[in-house]
Amino acid sequence: MTRRVVITGLGVIAPNGNGVPAFNDALRAGRSGLRRNEAMQKHGFACQVAATPSGVDELAEQAFSEELLLAMNQSHRLAALAALEAWRDAGCAVPAQDDERVNWDAGAILGTGIGGIDTIGARVVPLVDSCRVRRLGSTAVEQVMASGVSARISGLLALGNQVTTNSSACATGVEAVADGALRIRSGLAERMLCGGVEIASPYIWAGFDAMRVLCRQWNDEPERASRPLSATAAGFIPGAGAGALLVESLDSARQRGATIHAEVAGVGTNCGGHRGGGSMTAPNPESVRRCIGLALDDGKTAPEEVQAISGHLTATGADTSEVKAWAQALGRGPGELPHITSTKSLIGHTLGAAGAIETVAAVCMLRQGFIHPSLNSEDLHPEIEAFADSVPHELRELPELRVLMKAGFGFGDVNSALVLRKWEA
Amino acid sequence: METSEIQGRVLKILTPYVKDNSALENAGAETNILEDMKVNSARLVDVVLAFEDEFDIEIADEDVDSVNTVGDCVTLISEKLS
């Protein structure tokens, strides 16, 4: 019999709230985390709005030893804070650093889109270029190696199962949850900390600004700058943060008496192969539909069971095709499409963290039965006007919510989708 | 600079890296940095960089090879300062 997989822990550092209680409140209130960004202004970006979490260093200083802090760059700090919250939320104890026991049944898949570019920009490039290589010290490698974020968590929690960092651009966070769920379902692990992280850095955002995919028309009204689904959507707003979910076998969760937040019923991951309209930067629409279908099939879920969608929806031209892809994949026309919302309207696009933070948001919505408002979409794009009823401009209480789909679609034409079910014991 | 002052500043730099706090509390010239204080050997390069910054000196990689104890650090720094 197939092992069932559930989510027992949540952790988040988001532009509109650090920690799940604050984030949950921000979702319900439709609170925006977008602000005018001084670094972008200083460096001559066309887009000068970003969504970044505040108070991260203060939280890290409370949570980690001085030696650890000396070795942790921003990626490590964000990821570790979210991971520790998820671990503790699941009722798991954080082991002492001199406790030699290894937790062989627990692992981590914590991804990132770009990685430790703060270390590369502030230390590696300047020191190498000025022929002062030895001044890099011992911490540069662990900070720039992509797997540094998951390795750091392993050290904090003595994780002894698979510990890795996945990277699939903006689909990273959703893919991490999907891969963790599959590993547990296959019996290779009991608990996997899954999620993603991305830091705030002009070095990350510059390339996107140059591509003209960042919004440059709302610099004076930052909270209105992320406009998914809107006729006046003008590009995405870059964001930063981390999300983590403790994904666990139902058997293990029951044995521990853990609180179950939701079930990961189905997962789907694929790639459009850069064909049929897909490219390095655009999704093959057929692959998006197939990915949604894969998750439904995997979760033995009928399309009509899906009551809500947490879309990828970045506030670029791809939003309208995404809505149409959902409608086609679910066989639901105008007037029938489930509620569809964009967490990026509140927190911008946190890239490698997006799927993870937004899956945390999805689980919050399932647990409490609500759909958070999709901000700045009052002037819905004319191509999707027929789906207007499905887009919440204000909080929608939805106590009957049982099945929600979350998807992430990334550069490279990669896709990942989840069918999440409310847990009813 | 007095030896005792150098030793005090050396111990302050070592403090975040020390895993055995009793070794730190009872630290003297003979205290071994890796074996007694349980400092992660990979971090020694960071400790040396901190010495350079603290005392405004330069320490060659080969100088570090002979450093095992707190006293070795103090001797090396004193030589560089003179």
- The percent of residues above 90 in pLDDT, for chain A, comes to 98
Rounded average pLDDT over B70-74: 97
pLDDT of residue A425: 76
Chain A within 8 Å of B57 (Cβ-Cβ)? no
Question: How far is the C-alpha of A183 from the C-alpha of A154, rounded, in Å?
Answer: 17
Out of A65, A70, A98, the one facing B46 most closely (by C-beta) is: A70
Q: Annotated catalytic, A170?
A: yes
Chain A within 8 Å of B34 (Cβ-Cβ)? no
Owning domain of residue B47: 3-81
Whether A73 and A201 share a structural domain? yes
Rounded average pLDDT over A196-223: 98
Beta carbons of B16 and A70 less than 8 Å apart:
yes
Q: Is the pLDDT of residue B38 over 90?
A: yes
Complex-level ipTM: 0.90
Beta carbons of B45 and A138 less than 8 Å apart:
yes
- The percent of residues above 70 in pLDDT, for chain B, comes to 100
User: The domain spanning residue B58 has which CATH number?
Assistant: 1.10.1200.10
* Residue where a domain stops, chosen among A193, A223, A256: A256
User: Over chain A, what is the mean pLDDT?
Assistant: 97
Q: pTM of the full predicted structure?
A: 0.97
A2 pLDDT tier (thresholds 50, 70, 90): confident
Instruction: List CB contacts (< 8 A) between B45 and chain A.
Output: 134, 137-138
For tokens 């044995």, the residue is A255
pLDDT of residue A1: 63
Whether A166 and A91 share a structural domain? yes
Rounded average pLDDT over A277-288: 95
pLDDT of residue A373: 98
* Residue where a domain stops, chosen among A205, A222, A256: A256
Report chain A residues touching chain B, CB-CB < 8 A.
65-67, 70, 97-98, 134-135, 137-139
What is the distance in angstroms between the Cα of B61 and the nearest Cα belonging to chain A?
Answer: 9
Q: Annotated catalytic, A339?
A: no
Number of domains, chain B: 1
- H helices of A159-317, in order, are 172-185, 202-210, 250-256, 285-298
Owning domain of residue A181: 5-256
The secondary structure of B33-71 as a DSSP string is TTTTT---GGGHHHHHHHHHHHHT----HHHHTT--BHH
pLDDT of residue B1: 86
pLDDT of residue B54: 97
Rounded average pLDDT over A143-151: 97
Annotated catalytic residue, options A261, A339, A349, A372 = A349
Q: Encode pLDDT of A40-94 as tens digits.
A: 999 999 999 999 999 999 999 999 999 999 999 999 999 999 999 999 999 999 9
Question: How far is the C-alpha of A76 from the C-alpha of A66, rounded, in Å?
Answer: 14
B66 pLDDT tier (thresholds 50, 70, 90): confident
Is the separation of the CB atoms in A238 and A204 below 8 Å?
yes
Query: B32 forms bridges with which residues in the sheet?
Result: B69
Whether A73 and A222 share a structural domain? yes
Number of domains, chain A: 2
Rounded average pLDDT over A288-308: 98
Instruction: List CB contacts (< 8 A) between A137 and chain B.
Output: 45-46, 49
B1 or B49: whose pLDDT is higher? B49
Q: Is the pLDDT of residue A31 over 80?
A: yes
Rounded average pLDDT over B21-27: 93
Annotated catalytic residue, options A76, A312, A339, A381 = A312
Question: How far is the C-alpha of A166 from the C-alpha of A197, rounded, in Å?
Answer: 11
pLDDT of residue B27: 94
Beta carbons of A137 and B42 less than 8 Å apart:
no
User: The domain spanning residue A162 has which CATH number?
Assistant: 3.40.47.10
Whether A283 and A212 share a structural domain? no
A411 pLDDT tier (thresholds 50, 70, 90): very high
